[in-house]
Structure 1
Amino acid sequence: MSPQLVALLLEALKETAVMVAVSGALAALVGIPLGVVLVTTQRGHILQSLAVNRVLGAIVNAARSTPFIILMVAIIPLTRMIVGTSIGTAAAIVPLSLAAIPFAARLVETSLREVDTGLIEAAQAMGASPRQIILKVLLPEAWPGIIAGLTITLVSLIGYSAMAGAVGGGGLGDLGIRYGYQRFQPEVMLAVVVVLIVLVQAVQTAGDMLARKLNKRNISKEKA
């Protein structure tokens, strides 16, 4: 592979990292609170509101059921309104974030549901407010599962970012399509695939390590 293509590969990796990092951060910032709302507004929970729960649940399900490539094309007017263009790394972040937020929210919801209801009832018996229960019981107990869910979200975003490259989103997918496929350079396609595999492995390993560390911390607190 020529030095020029190596430079292009590094630039594409940088673009992919930016897309995944920014959209992943937005998914966490919005997805975690959304997951909390989805859990706490369920029947019999601390902030029961069936109307809110059903409306949010329907919106999340609709967003999750839309294939990413269709979502990306469908929201082009919104993307242009936000970033001023529909192509490039910045433009790809908009559909990536919209795809990742409901995905992360459902994973967070699943983790929060696994928290022992006895802990919630004990906190209520001691007079804890809903806010205190969320911040001091639900989230601390569910952090290992939440981190694991966000790790899955980041891995999915890496795949989505490669798909975004096929329609002008930049990054490794764009490099693989333009040079590996359209210019018949299989070594470029192979390099892109290898880099994506390494990137996924790195993210998954880091996420697993952090989740295990938080889980051990929770176990130590329980023993204490």
Structure 2
Amino acid sequence: MRNQLPWEDLLALVLNATGETLYMVALASLFTLLIGLPLGVVLFITRKQGILPAPRLNGALGAIVNLGRSLPFVVLLIALIPLTRLIIGTTLGSSAAVVPITIGAFPFFARIVESALDEVEKGRIEAILSMGGNVRHVIFKVLLPEALPTLLAGLTLTVVMLIGFSSMAGVIGGGGLGDLAIRYGYQRFNNQVMIATVIILVILVQGVQTLGDRLVRSLAHRR
């Protein structure tokens, strides 16, 4: 029982770690969306049969995306330490963890975007082009609006993955619930902390998934 913490101390630790996790996930989600969405659009339109064919660019971007998706996240965390230090100035803390989390997630989301756009009815694209529309019109008036429910479902899946990534960032001192679980739960054999972090992570994942599913259903009904 010597490793058990007073409930007040445990609550303070868990609340602080939860705040750090939410901070990491929120920022990483924003950057993943800002990078992954346009990248997925470019991958789609530059296909050989796309509306703006550019096989060499498509191949290069596809290779980068596939490389990012093929590396285990723990390996990526360690490999990106020099880049994280260059950008943030340190490799410790929640802000530093956002860099590898984002880099680990945006290739995954880019492929989701590409797949979502691939489901858009080709006749709608051809209709816009036949009426004199350009690539911008196709993207913003057909592709993104038509694929919005699927994109939102993919974003929900990505945010759930980011919660897991934020936990693994604790391996390199990234803060958050993962760091709390390692430092207090694992290294100090404190079952209180381990149970608390698991419960909070399950609640976060369930909350994000439930909210995302409701938004997707709402959009689907409006359509």
1:222 counterpart residue number: none
Consecutive aligned runs of 4 or more in structure 1 exceeding 4 Å deviation: none
Matches within 5 A, 1:130-209: 130-209=135-214
Match of 2:95 in 1: 90
Residue 66 of structure 1 pairs with residue 60 of structure 2: no
Q: By how many angstroms is 1:19 displaced? A: 0.4
**Identical counterparts, % of pairs:** 55
2:126 paired with 1:121: yes
Distance 2:38 2:222 in 1: 23
1:104 aligns with 2:104: no
Listed one character per residue, the Cα deviations across residues 10-38 of structure 1 (whole Å, up to 9, x for unaligned) are 00000000000000110001101000000
| TM-superposed deviation, 1:64 | 0.7
Q: Give the Cα–Cα distance (whole angstroms) in 1 for the partners of residues 220 and 139 of structure 2.
A: 18
Deviation at 1:152, TM superposition (A): 0.6
Q: CA deviation at 1:211?
A: 1.4
Structure 2 counterparts to residues 15-26 of structure 1, below 5 A = 15-26=20-31
* Superposition deviation, residue 217 in structure 1: 2.1
> Is residue 2:91 matched to residue 1:54?
no
Query: Does residue 1:6 correspond to 2:15, yes or no?
Result: no
Which of 38, 41, 45 in structure 2 is aligned with 1:36?
Answer: 41
CA deviations 1:62-83 (Å, max 9, x no partner) are 0110111111111111101111
The CA distance in 2 between the partners of 1:52 and 1:122, in whole Å, is: 26
Aligned to 1:221: none
TM-score by length of 1: 0.95
- 1:167 deviates by 2.0
Q: Unpaired segments of 5 or more residues in structure 2?
A: 1-5
Segment of structure 1 superposing worse, 193-202 or 165-174 = 165-174
* Number of corresponding residues: 218
Please give the per-residue CA displacement for 1:158-206, whole angstroms capped at 9, x wherever unaligned.
0111111122110000111111111111121011001000000000111
Indicate the RMSD between aligned Cα atoms, in angstroms.
0.9
1:76 matches 2:81: yes
1:127-169: per-residue Cα shift (whole Å, max 9, x none)? 1111001000000000101111111110001011111112211
Amino acid at match of 2:133: A
